[in-house]
Structure formats: C-alpha cells, structure tokens
Amino acid sequence: MTDAVEVQITYPDEAAAHGAAAMLVEARLIACGQVGRVTSVYTWEGAVEDEPEWLLTAKTLHAALPALAERVRASHPYDVPQITALPVAWSTPDYLAWIAESVDA
C-alpha cells in the first residue's frame, strides 16, 4: 500500500470539473486530474434520477484529503458532492514520487 489515493468527484458540467481540476492542481492539493463524462443513476429527495455528469478523478496523497475536501465543498455546486477516495494499492516508484513531489500535504 502507498500514501497515494485516487479521489473521485462528480460535477454537473465539464467546465465545473475542469475548473476544479485546475484549482486543485494550482493549490497543490492534487498532482493531476482527469475529467470524463459519466452517467449517474441515484436517488435524490425520494426520486430516482438519471443524469449526465462529469467525473474528476484526481491523484493525491492521503494527508491532503482534509484540505482537498474543504476546498471542494466550499466551491462545489451540489449540496452533497461526491468526494470519495480509494487507496492506490500499487504504482511505479517514479509515478508515486511524482505525486509526492506535486502535492503539498
């Protein structure tokens, strides 16, 4: 196991996801962010929703998660944004070093 984590955050549109990725990279809270379109099926206020969304997948360190979550929640358009983190079980040493060098944690 490593200190690296992969964070997933959904946004209502591409501009919001790209803006968040840029903001988090500039703040050195993530090493990189990848943005792609997804469809989310979920319940909200008693109704089943089926909506297109944009997923920001970000590479960072576990120690950066509290500051990352605070920054995302302060600027996110959703009342309850998805902010989930999964541990990176393995990666190449040079990639892990790059993440560590790119994130202030």
Provide the pLDDT for residue 96. 98
Class of the domain covering 4-102: alpha beta
pLDDT at 100: 98
What ranges do the domains of the chain cover? 4-102
**Token pair 């297109």: residue:** 52
- The confidence score (pLDDT) of residue 60 equals 99
Mean pLDDT in each 10-residue stretch from start to end of the chain (105 residues)?
95 99 99 99 97 99 99 98 98 98 97
Residue 2, pLDDT score: 86
- Tell me the CA distances in angstroms from 44 to 51, 61, 68, 80, 99, one per residue in order: 11, 31, 25, 10, 35
CA atoms within 13 A on the CB side of 41: 0
